[in-house]
Structure 1
Amino acid sequence: MNLLVKNDLFDYKNRYIMQFENAFKFSLDSLLLAEFVSVKKTDKNILDMCTGNAPVPLILSLKTNSFITGFEIQKDIAYLASESVKINNIENIKIINDDIKNIDKYFNKNYFDIITCNPPYFNTLDNGYKNKNDYLTIARHEVMINLEDIFKIAYNYLKNNGVFYLVHRSNRLDDIMFYAKHYRLNVKMLQFISTKSDGELNTILVKCVKNSKSGVRVLKPICVDNLDTYQHLFEGKC
């Protein structure tokens, strides 16, 4: 059985996150996604798909009083998310332990102003894949949900002109652009990220707007190697 530990949520003041000591830690990608999100005062409801142990909702709650719902399919990981919300005494976050494809049981369509997602990245399984219930297999591989599912849900549950934010691997950009176009979530902004100073731009942040006009801004690439903080990294850009 994994030991439950309370950790600082990187350098975010008064934000703590519950994690298993030897498994399933939050990732840099979640921090980048949360920082990339821009929330307006008029935004009332935010959905975080594939929320994990809730790093994105926890960070977003520092930006807004909007109500944030996190969906997590894995029971143990959803428990971590709920405990993380509890230890931070945050009232505007709710965690739902269910398959996001069952969202119609909880919300009407066209409900959310913003939807975020740090999804499974790999559309094929490694040869070493053994157990469908392994935490990391479900988190990293499209065994429970795929990219098309994510775009379809985002389109159906965003309000008109609602915003969808996604973090993904750059090598899936062709799939991202295809599904964004197909589901009328027009890509409005792309931010390429390098995690090493001499490395490739292996991560991408995507901003889509439902039923918007076409036109994409490609921001100057950013290297996040050895940064002391990720706070306000995209301020003034998004």
Structure 2
Amino acid sequence: MTKAILKDKERIDQLFSTDVKIIQNRDVFSYSIDSVLLSRFPKFPSRGLIVDLCSGNGAVGLFASTQTKADIVAVELQKRLADMGQRSIELNHLTQQVTMINDDLKHLMAHVPRSKVDLILCNPPYFKATETSKKNLSPHYLLARHEITTNLEEICQVSQQALKTKGRLALVHRPDRFLEIMETMKRYKLVPKRIQFVYPKADKEANMLLIEAIKDGSPDGLTFLPPLIVHKDNGDYTDEIHDIYFGKEHHAYMYVLRCADDSLYTGYTTHLEKRLATHNAGKGAKYTKTRLPVELIYFETFNHKNAAMSAEAKFKRKTRQQKLDYIKSHQKQSSKE
């Protein structure tokens, strides 16, 4: 089934904090962190109607489906991207909730009732289409990133027509266009209520902006949320971003096994019990396959796979005695805590 729905160079990715799977193609379109953050940013209605404009391969709308029971209409101009999104909808068995429309967003009123939409999500083209603008060679990325077929003005205009009174528009955009976004929203009676700047690291400038506005809302009550930091100094995700990507209960482990010949084996996993059973079934690793059974003698818990992999690499560089001393000292420390 899965292989049948994939086309050349396509793959399936998953946001591990959900069960949603997205069909991706590096040469055509792949969602990134801006789509993930947008799908977690607004206040979702429990029911009603949500529209995802500039939907690309449908990632934002599909991720949003886990937050609400509302109907979701995804609108994408590019036929290739819309096709990927439609197959992702079918892959996730969400055809009763999510609909993919292959059309220009300026025709939105032909697909949804005027002034009846509860929430509009939009990850729009960020860059103005000037002759000096830096354009990607791929036509798919060119349209997704540059204001060639639509722009901020049109998005706000269409949103004003589609949203019900007190309906919301949630955008992810570039901080350098913040004032323009505020002014354009104001012209279309979309009042910003929640704003959050996103930083790649704590000591870097913001590179993303999340903003939520209400149609015909009161000008009072604008809230600037705390800054959202994506990476720690060592490159790992911050706890907040980790929870968004993997869920609060997701962990990764560096583990040490004692083999039947008394040798040690070190690895990493996201599921200790399952990994131990795999090793003892002779399918875990070539090394342990001939040294069964194996026994788990030590593990450390991390909030990200990369951190567990790093700990594994460092541990493997130790001599056998250094490994045993390390395990002994850390087990003593844990017992005191």
TM-score norm. by structure 2 comes to 0.65
The Cα of 1:48 is off from its aligned counterpart by 0.4
Task: Say whether residues 1:141 and 2:155 are aligned partners.
Answer: no
The Cα of 1:100 is off from its aligned counterpart by 0.6
1:6 is aligned to 11
Paired residues of 2:52 and 2:122 also in contact (CA < 8 A):
yes
Task: Say whether residues 1:174 and 2:192 are aligned partners.
Answer: no
For 1:87, give the aligned amino acid: L
For 1:148, give the aligned amino acid: E
Name the CA shift for 1:62/1:221 in 2 (closer, same or farther; >3 Å).
Answer: same
2:244 is aligned to 230
Given the alignment, which residue of 80, 98, 120 partners 2:103? 98
Name the CA shift for 1:153/1:46 in 2 (closer, same or farther; >3 Å).
Answer: same
In structure 1, distance between residues paired with 2:174 and 2:64 = 22
In structure 2, distance between residues paired with 1:209 and 1:101 = 20
In structure 1, distance between residues paired with 2:44 and 2:35 = 16
1:63 is aligned to 67
Could you tell me which runs of 5 or more consecutive residues in structure 1 were left unpaired when the two chains were aligned.
234-238
Task: Say whether residues 1:19 and 2:19 are aligned partners.
Answer: no
RMSD in angstroms over aligned alpha carbons? 2.0
For 1:173, give the aligned amino acid: F
More displaced stretch, 17-26 vs 45-54: 17-26
Given the alignment, which residue of 179, 184, 209 partners 1:204? 209
1:110 is aligned to 115
The Cα of 1:107 is off from its aligned counterpart by 2.3
Higher relative contact order, structure no. (Cα contacts within 8 Å, ≥ 6 residues apart): 1
Q: Is the partner of 1:230 in helix, strand or coil? A: helix
Paired residues of 2:50 and 2:71 also in contact (CA < 8 A):
yes
Between the two proteins, what is the percent identity of the paired residues? Answer: 31
Paired residues of 1:11 and 1:229 also in contact (CA < 8 A):
no
More displaced stretch, 52-61 vs 74-83: 52-61
2:56 is aligned to 52
Q: Is the partner of 1:229 in helix, strand or coil? A: helix
For 1:178, give the aligned amino acid: E
2:196 is aligned to 191
Alpha-carbon deviations, 1:145-165, whole Å to 9, x = none?
000000001111000000110
Name the CA shift for 1:193/1:127 in 2 (closer, same or farther; >3 Å).
Answer: closer
For 2:60, give the aligned amino acid: V
The Cα of 1:21 is off from its aligned counterpart by 4.5
Q: Is the partner of 1:70 in helix, strand or coil? A: strand
Max radius of gyration: which structure?
A: 2
Could you tell me which runs of 5 or more consecutive residues in structure 2 were left unpaired when the two chains were aligned.
1-6, 248-337
Task: Say whether residues 1:163 and 2:168 are aligned partners.
Answer: yes
Paired residues of 1:6 and 1:16 also in contact (CA < 8 A):
no
